[in-house]
Structures are given as structure tokens and as C-alpha cells.
Amino acid sequence: MAVLHLVDRPHHLVVTTFSGQVTVDEIAAACTKLRHDHDFRPSYRQLADLSKVSRLELQPEQLTSIRLTYDPFAQESRRAFVATDENTFGVVTTYKSIVESEQFAVFPSLLDAISWLDLEVTVLHAVCLRDRYRSKSTEAEKGLTFDLPVSTPPTFRAMHRSSKKRHGTGH
């Protein structure tokens, strides 16, 4: 599947990976599946990595349909999208304008997105590893690998604020 969601309830986070040629039907199916995931809450933060997308050609009317019909996230959810190529960055920026939220941002690098979401790299790594042990799917294993640039300092740690303060509850 070209779109894969991983829900991490303890950190109130959804990690989404997009890969290969992504279609509107795949996005709609993945969003519908996420909406029905018992661990998902619309208020969760989202880190969406589109760095492995080879083709994403969606028209503004398709993006509007995704937002109005399928997108399960609340307007106030903090969402960071990583798009490393020009075309994908443009499509996601158009989607951002449709979402119309100050809590939605598009970044050219994973490190910037992680920092903006107030995550620690170690939290993200733990989320991905935990899912690998739960999942039997080799596709899930491939899709949820985040390769930080080799130039990333070994001491890099974005700040991670307590989920009790940020989200109002401890669960």
C-alpha cells in the first residue's frame, strides 16, 4: 500500500508514510481505515513523510474531496508533512491551503518536521520499532523507516513536552 498509518496512542501521534505512486483512492482508503482504528483520536498529532513518493498528481478538487470526506483529523490537530521534491511539496502546500489551519505545516526536511511537532527522535524511532514487532507485514517494515540525513548530529534531540500539558489528559 502506498499510504500507511501507524497510531501511537501513548504519544498522541500518527505517523503516516507515503511511497511510490500515490492515488486519491489509496489516500481515501487509508484515511477511512485510520478513522476506524480504535487507537486513533482526531486530536492526535500527525507526522506525514512523503519523501519516498515517486508520483503524486492530485487536482485541487480531489484534495478538497479528501479534506471534506476522508481526512479524519480535527482542525486543531498539529500536523507536519515532509515533502522533499518540488512537485510533492506543491501538492501538499495546496492541501494545506484547503485545510486552512495554523496547525498544519509543510517541511522540506524530516528534522524540521520533528522539531515543529515537539518530538524527540528517540520517540519516533521507538514508535516505528514497536510497530515492527506487532506487524507481520514486510510492507509496514519498509514504510515506517525514517532515515535521518547523515549530517544529523548524534546529539540531535528535539524538545518533547509532556502530553499531559499539551493534550489535557494523560492518556
Asked, for residue 170, whether it belongs to a domain, the answer is no
Provide CB contacts within 8 A for 1, sequence distance 6+.
26, 29, 30, 139, 143
Per-residue pLDDT tens over the stretch 73-117: 999 999 999 999 999 999 999 999 999 999 999 999 988 999 899
Asked, for residue 63, whether it belongs to a domain, the answer is yes
pLDDT of residue 138: 45
Per-residue pLDDT tens over the stretch 54-68: 999 999 999 999 999
Give yes or no for residue 141 having a pLDDT over 70: no
Indicate the pTM of the whole model. Answer: 0.75
Count the neighbouring beta carbons within 10 Å of the beta carbon of residue 91.
23
Strands, sheet with 79-82, edge to edge from the N-terminal-most edge strand? 3-8, 13-22, 45-56, 79-82, 104-107
β partners of residue 20: 53
Asked, for residue 121, whether it belongs to a domain, the answer is yes
Asked, for residue 169, whether it belongs to a domain, the answer is no
Question: Which domain covers residue 139, as residue numbers?
Answer: 3-164
- 3-state secondary structure (DSSP) of residue 56: strand
Per-residue pLDDT tens over the stretch 21-40: 999 999 999 999 999 999 99
Task: Measure the CA–CA gap between 87 and 97, rounded to whole angstroms.
Answer: 16
Count the domains in the chain.
1
Asked, for residue 32, whether it belongs to a domain, the answer is yes
- Furthest-apart CA atoms within the chain: distance in Å: 43
